């Protein structure tokens, strides 16, 4: 499997790429500008590094400046792309912050070709009858309201290129409710609805393509918090899903057979 030369310093990606389900040229994302939320850890960090390896300029958005700086330093040291850090707590996202982000992206990059809504808050695993209202509001703000606000604020930048891609991170509990998953499950049902509505509203123009992706069980900090008794070594690392993410962000180059906009994709079942 061919990957960008920057992956030579990314052992997890190099190993995972040997099992990828589609061929991706090393310049698959060259010239593309992609914003990743939750870019400091887990799937977000893996996506940010991978996108940069394939040539994309990545806007790294997350709560922890220290974690973002680690990802930024790796990208700077291993790729020839232009990354920027945007420290932002999505629980406190407001119109001033999104306006400033919009103007910064427009001034630095011009267009925006991709938006990966990856940041999520798990919340407590308790019955609804005992679910803390403040925690419910925090989960819904991070997982539902913030992606809407960001997408709306950046819509004109996404609508400018011939192809742009919005990926909303979903979950199995966003398709089938499960006891004790509370606000997280409800937020992922909302994510599915948000994806379908946005896809339907943009389908005619045909420039913005929207997908919801369920990564499934993946070796991340959030997964460990949700399933503390689970052996993480039995789970795939985030890099094993990155062929799907690059494929969607790349778009219809060289006749790629993309899923229809609005499609819900199970990462483990996807075949490129």
Reduce the DSSP state of residue 85 to 3 states and report it.
Answer: strand
**Per-residue pLDDT, 63:** 93
Structure tokens at 13: 């990606």
Kindly state the average pLDDT of the residues 133-158: 97
* Per-residue pLDDT at 139 exceeds 90: yes
Look at residue 204 and tell me whether its pLDDT is greater than 50: yes
User: For residue 223, what pLDDT band results from cuts at 50, 70 and 90?
Assistant: low
Structure tokens at 90: 């999505």
Q: In order of start, what are the domains of the chain with their CATH numbers?
A: 5-266 (3.40.50.720)
Closest by CA to 218, choosing from 193, 188, 242, 194, is 242
The rounded percent of the chain whose pLDDT value lies above 90 is 76
Instruction: Judge whether residue 23 has pLDDT over 90.
Output: no
pLDDT, residue 219, reads 62
pLDDT of residue 5: 53
Token pair recorded at residue 78: 């291993």
Q: What confidence score (pLDDT) does residue 257 get?
A: 83
CA distances from 64 to 87, 112, 224 (A): 7, 23, 19
Name the average pLDDT for the chain: 90
Q: Is 264 helix (H, G, I), strand (E, B) or coil?
A: strand
Task: Determine the Cα–Cα distance for residues 25 and 33; give it in Å rounded to an integer.
Answer: 17
pLDDT of residue 1: 47
DSSP at 230? S
Of 5-14, 131-140, 203-212, give the lowest mean pLDDT range.
5-14
Q: Contact, 59 vs 71, CB < 8 A?
A: no
The 10s digit of each residue's pLDDT in 48-81 is: 999 999 999 999 999 999 999 999 999 999 999 9
Could you give the angle at the alpha carbon of 60 between the alpha carbons of 265 and 230, nearest 5°?
Answer: 55
Which residues are part of the catalytic machinery?
A: 184
pLDDT(178) > 90: yes
pTM score, whole prediction: 0.93
User: Which residue did the predictor score with more confidence, 270 or 70?
Assistant: 70
Q: What's the pLDDT band for 12 if we cut at 50, 70, 90? A: confident
Say yes or no to pLDDT of 237 above 70.
yes
> What pLDDT sits at residue 230?
61
Mean pLDDT value across residues 157-167 = 97
């Amino acid at each position: 499997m061919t990957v960008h030369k920057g992956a030579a310093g990314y052992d997890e990606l190099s190993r995972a790429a040997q099992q990828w389900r589609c061929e991706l040229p090393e310049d698959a994302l060259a010239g593309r500008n992609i914003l990743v939320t939750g870019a400091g850890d887990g799937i977000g960090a893996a996506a940010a590094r991978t996108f940069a390896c394939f040539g994309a300029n990545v806007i790294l958005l997350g709560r922890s400046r220290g974690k973002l700086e680690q990802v930024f330093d790796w990208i700077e040291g291993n790729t020839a792309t232009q990354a920027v850090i945007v420290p932002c707590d999505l629980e406190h996202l407001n119109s001033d912050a999104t306006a400033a982000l919009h103007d910064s992206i427009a001034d630095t990059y011009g267009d925006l070709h991709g938006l990966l809504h990856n940041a999520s808050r798990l919340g407590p695993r308790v019955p609804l009858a005992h679910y803390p209202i403040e925690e419910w509001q925090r989960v819904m703000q991070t997982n539902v309201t913030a992606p809407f606000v960001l997408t709306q604020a950046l819509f004109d930048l996404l609508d400018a290129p011939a192809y742009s891609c919005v990926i909303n991170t979903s979950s199995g509990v966003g398709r089938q409710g499960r006891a004790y998953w509370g606000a997280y499950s409800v937020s992922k049902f909302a994510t599915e609805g948000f994806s379908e509505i946005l896809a339907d509203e943009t389908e005619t123009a045909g420039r913005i393509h929207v997908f919801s992706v369920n990564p499934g069980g993946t070796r991340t900090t959030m997964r460990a918090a949700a399933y503390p008794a689970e052996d993480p070594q039995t789970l795939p690392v985030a890099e094993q899903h990155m062929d799907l993410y690059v494929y969607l962000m790349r778009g219809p180059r060289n006749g790629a057979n993309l899923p229809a906009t609005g499609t819900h994709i199970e990462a483990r079942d996807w075949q490129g």
